[in-house]
Chain A
Amino acid sequence: MKVWEYILRRLLLAVLVIFGVSVVTFFIARVVPSDPAALWVGPRPSPDQIAAARVKLGLDRPLYIQYFYYLGNLLRGDLGVSIKTHQPIVRDLRAYLPATLELVLVGMAMAVFIGIPLGVLSAARRNRFLDHFSRLVAVASVSIPTFWLGLLLQLIFFGQLHWLPISGRVSIGTALYRPIQTVTGFYLVDTLITRNWPAFRDALTHIILPAFTLATYAIGLTIRMTRSTMVEVLQEKYIVAARAAGLSERTILFRLALKNAIVPTLTVLALSFVYSLTGAILVEVIFSWPGLGSYVTSAIINVDFPVIIAVTLVVTVFYVLINLVLDLVQVVLDPRVVLK
């Protein structure tokens, strides 16, 4: 019961945060010296055209009225129209957001399944070979420039080995002969539920390189964060007690110790996740991945404020939700944590 009350309270708070963010971004958008009406009309507009666009976009009305219209639309799920492309933003997001989410989620899964075990084992074998090795991996993965790594991986796995495709979400062949029916927009999920196996395979091979490139930084952080908390936890008396009880090293490391050490790692992963929603631009460009990063970057270049605001709101929603989930996970993991 208490938990539901807490979730409800946090969700209300989230609505406030999102409202606040919408206000701030909206007004920033209006004070920046650029003319949306001129952008809307396109290159070399006539004054009449601009004036007409101004009325059409409602820019002739007072700012607070504009905001209330905007908010009203927002509540109806309408994020407005791109000034540049004149496309409804919701439609764009429906294409770009799942692409990005899929990429980021696969990347985070890699960070979890590579980073956490390496972190745990290097804490357990402190200052031995595996630890030095994983330190090297971690340092390399946070310091290698993304674009360089992306190109290198393309060179190796596409150019030399011909194992993996170079770019895009699926190959042209799949698009033509085994088209993916969009249900969720996540190709891996959609191909699974429609049992489109060749397309699933194709989507999977396409996502490996970009997801790994995106995940390297998170992998490095995860290794180091997991290692450092695990090193602390492994010195606790209850670990000695678990050894004294004859429990296996695997149980001790991956069950008894890890549950005590996981929260900082999850925090790092959550932050990487949110960051990657828009921060994956380099990866998206290198691998021609039609994601949110490229979308918002071109919006920024074009001063396409409705798009910038909409993406900001989407990221805010994710940020708020992820934090809520993180807090709840913490409660589940540690009975001593009390919800405030």
Chain B
Amino acid sequence: MREPLISVRDLQVHFHTHAGVVHALNGVSFDLYPGEILGLVGETGCGKSVTGLALLGLIPPPGQVVGGEIRYRGQNILTLPPAQMRALRGGKIAMIFQDPAAALNPVFTVGEQIELVTRRHRRMGREAARRQAAEVLRSVGMPEPERILDTYPHELSGGMQQRVMIAMALSCGAEVLVADEPTTALDVTIQAQILDLLVDLKRTRGLSILLITHNLGVVAETCDRVAVLYAGFIVETGPTGAIFQSMKHPYTQGLLAAIPHPSSRGRPLQAVPGTVPDGLQLPPGCLFHPRCPFAWDRCRQERPVLREVADGHQVACHLYAGEAER
């Protein structure tokens, strides 16, 4: 059995706002193995971005990790001293964002931005950093990397900007890439190119990618495994094939049933009737029970835990609890 590179267990994140405590993550658990793409899917506001930021130790205030752990190569990074966490960020774990135009600093050239990152993590001179920057741009399929180094972000197209982001993320040899909706802001053909690039990086570099998306078409095409997030809680996780063919959780079933036709691919998930619970006031028991067609008494009282239903396929639902328990 391979060792996971990243292993998240029962992660809980609260935002302490004026309105009260927002329960953003309520027990997120998943593993990310070397050289795989794990899709993290769920409706808007379910905590995908917060999960991604947590892997880099970047939960914005007033957010706070209140429970659980995140292990990178066995080491719990939540307890790392800030300096070591900073070395990990960009050095081993990197992140790219939905809107590359906003994620690149408008007043520095592409080269300056990449070099700043490379020189932060590796001791090297200006010249070497520049050569390395050009090299990493070439490796993400950027034509004329030397010229691109001297351009400003606004002079590039959206797809190029995202390539620059990926280049920057990988410029220090990151092993894990958190990609938060990396293609949502791009048009469809560019979207496909960026996804191809990610798959390519996985194959050639053995990069592990947490691909955050609400586009199930993207998941089907690129991900090895999928984790389904609902109200800050992982309800189902397993190999992409298993999830698409024999999904177990009522929420996942609803999600997938909501894609009636390939043409609806790319629409945001609006799957199941009802609304996502308010993070300020979570329902007791199974978080999904107010919307679940199968809910019964036990669902209203007891929170289900993830249980293995098939090889590598786990579901958190009382329907699949062992016969004896049920």
State the A residues within 8 Å of B (CB): 236-238, 240-248, 251, 255-256, 259-260, 333-336
| CB-defined contacts of A236 to chain B, threshold 8 Å | 102
B168: nearest chain-A partner, CB-CB? A245
Closest CB in chain A relative to B74 CB, distance in Å:
21
| Chain B stretch 67-112: residues in CB contact (< 8 A) with chain A | 86-91, 94-97, 99, 102-108
Pick from A237, A333, A335: contact of B103, CB under 8 Å: A237
Verify B117–A336 contact, CB threshold 8 A. no
Q: Using known A-B contacts A240-B58, A241-B97, A245-B168, determine if residue A336 contacts B102 with beta carbons closer than 8 Å.
A: no
**A329 to B: closest C-beta gap in Å:** 12
Known: A245-B94, A247-B120. A335 touches B154 (CB 8 A): yes
Identify which of A240, A244, A335 contacts B152 (C-beta below 8 A): A335
Contacts of B299 in A (CB 8 A): none
Residue B121 lies at the interface, judged by CB distance under 8 Å to chain A: yes
Chain B: number of interface residues, binned into ranges: 20 to 34
B255 contacts chain A at the CB level, 8 A cutoff: no
- Chain A residues near B99 (CB, 8 Å)? 237
Question: Which of A244, A247, A259, A334 is B56 in contact with, Cβ under 8 Å?
Answer: A244
Contact (Cβ within 8 A) A246 B89: yes
27 contacts between A and B (CB under 8 A): A237-B99, A237-B103, A238-B104, A240-B97, A241-B97, A241-B103, A241-B165, A243-B89, A244-B95, A245-B89, A245-B90, A245-B94, A245-B120, A246-B91, A246-B117, A247-B117, A247-B120, A248-B120, A256-B108, A256-B116, A259-B108, A333-B107, A334-B107, A335-B107, A336-B106, A336-B152, A336-B154
A260 touches B106 (CB 8 A): yes
Residue from the list A240, A244, A251 in contact with B120, Cβ < 8 A:
A251
- When C-beta atoms are compared, the residue in chain B nearest to A245 turns out to be B90
- A-B contact sample (16 more), CB < 8 A, given A240-B53, A334-B106: A237-B99, A237-B102, A238-B106, A240-B58, A240-B103, A244-B169, A246-B89, A246-B90, A248-B86, A255-B116, A259-B107, A259-B108, A260-B106, A335-B106, A335-B107, A336-B154
B contact residues vs A (CB 8 Å cutoff) = 53, 56, 58, 60, 86-91, 94-97, 99, 102-108, 116-117, 120-121, 152, 154, 165, 168-169, 172
* Minimum CB distance partner of A334 in chain B: B107
Closest A residue to B92 by beta carbon equals A246
Provide the bound-state CA to CA distance between A240 and B52, in Å.
12
- Partner of B87 from the list A238, A246, A251, A336 (CB cut-off 8 Å) is A246
Interface centre among A245, A334, A336 (most CB of B within 10 A): A245
For chains A and B in complex, what number of residue pairs have CB atoms within 8 angstroms?
78
Closest to B89 in A: A246
Contacts of A251 in B (CB 8 A): 116, 120
Nearest CB in chain B to that of A244: its residue: B95
- Whether A245 contacts B107 by the Cβ 8 Å rule is no
Closest to A256 in B: B105
Which residues of A have CB within 8 Å of B96? Answer: 241
Chain A residues with CB below 8 A from B117, complex form: 245-247
Nearest B residue (CB) for A257: B105
* A10–chain B nearest beta-carbon distance, Å: 22
Q: Are A243 and B58 in contact (CB under 8 A)?
A: yes
Taken together as a complex, chains A and B put the C-alpha atoms of A238 and B97 apart, in Å, by 9
Q: Once bound together, how far apart are the Cα atoms of A256 and B115, in whole Å? A: 13
Q: Which 3 A-B pairs have CB atoms at the shortest separation, nearest pair first?
A: A246-B90, A246-B89, A245-B90
- Which residue of A237, A255, A260 has the most chain B CB atoms within 10 A of its CB atom? A237
Residue of A nearest to B85 (CB): A246
Closest to A335 in B: B152
Interface contact A245-B169, CB-CB below 8 Å? yes
Query: Does B58 contact A244, Cβ atoms closer than 8 Å?
Result: yes
Contact A247 B108 (CB under 8 A): no
A247-B103 CB under 8 A given contacts A237-B97, A241-B165, A336-B154: no
Q: Does the CB pair A242–B97 fall under 8 Å? A: no
> CA–CA, A336 to B153, complex, Å?
10
Within the complex, the shortest CB–CB distance from A233 to chain B, in Å, comes to: 10
> Measured between C-beta atoms, what is the minimum distance from A331 to chain B in Å?
11
What is the bound-complex CA distance between A223 and B87, given in angstroms? 32
> B58 — nearest CB in chain A belongs to which residue?
A243
A322 to chain B, nearest CB (A): 22
Closest to B117 in A: A245
Given the interface pairs A240-B97, A336-B152, A336-B154, the reply to whether A247 lies near B116 with Cβ below 8 Å is yes
How far does the Cβ of A122 sit from chain B's closest Cβ, in whole Å? 16
Closest to A247 in B: B120
Instruction: Please give, as numbers and ranges, the residues of chain B lying within 8 Å of A240 by CB-CB distance.
Output: 53, 58, 60, 97, 103
When distances are taken between beta carbons in the complex, the residues of chain B under 8 Å from A336 are: 106-107, 152, 154
**Cα-based distance from A62 to B89 in the complex (angstroms):** 78
Expressed in whole angstroms, the Cα–Cα distance for A259 and B107 within the complex equals 7
- Per the bound structure, the CA–CA distance linking A240 and B105 in Å amounts to 11
> Which A residues touch B88, using CB under 8 A?
246
| A304 smallest CB distance to B (angstroms) | 48
Q: Report A237 CB to chain B, min CB distance, Å.
A: 4
Rounded to whole Å, the gap between the CB of A99 and the closest CB of chain B is 37
- With A245-B90, A247-B90, A247-B120 known as contacts, the answer to whether A238 contacts B56 (CB < 8 A) is no
Chain B residues whose CB sits within 8 angstroms of the CB of A237 once the complex forms = 97, 99, 102-103
Contact partner of B107 (CB less than 8 A), chosen from A243, A247, A248, A260, is: A260
- CA A238 – CA B153 in complex, angstroms? 11
Complex CA–CA separation, A259 to B121 (angstroms): 22
Cβ-neighbour of B86 out of A238, A246, A259, A334 (below 8 A) = A246
Q: Which residues does chain B contribute within 8 Å of A244, judged by CB atoms? A: 56, 58, 89-90, 94-95, 169
- Residue contact A238 to B89, C-beta cutoff 8 Å: no
Q: When A246-B86, A335-B152 are in contact, do A238 and B120 touch as well, CB less than 8 Å? A: no
Contacts of B154 in A (CB 8 A): 335-336
Q: Which of A243, A246, A260, A333 contacts B105 (CB 8 A)?
A: A260
A241 to B56 alpha-carbon distance, docked (Å): 11
CA distance A248 to B91 in the complex (A): 13
A237 to B106, CA, bound (A): 11
Chain A residue nearest to B60 (CB atoms) is: A240
Q: How far is the CA of A251 from the CA of B169 in the complex (A)?
A: 17
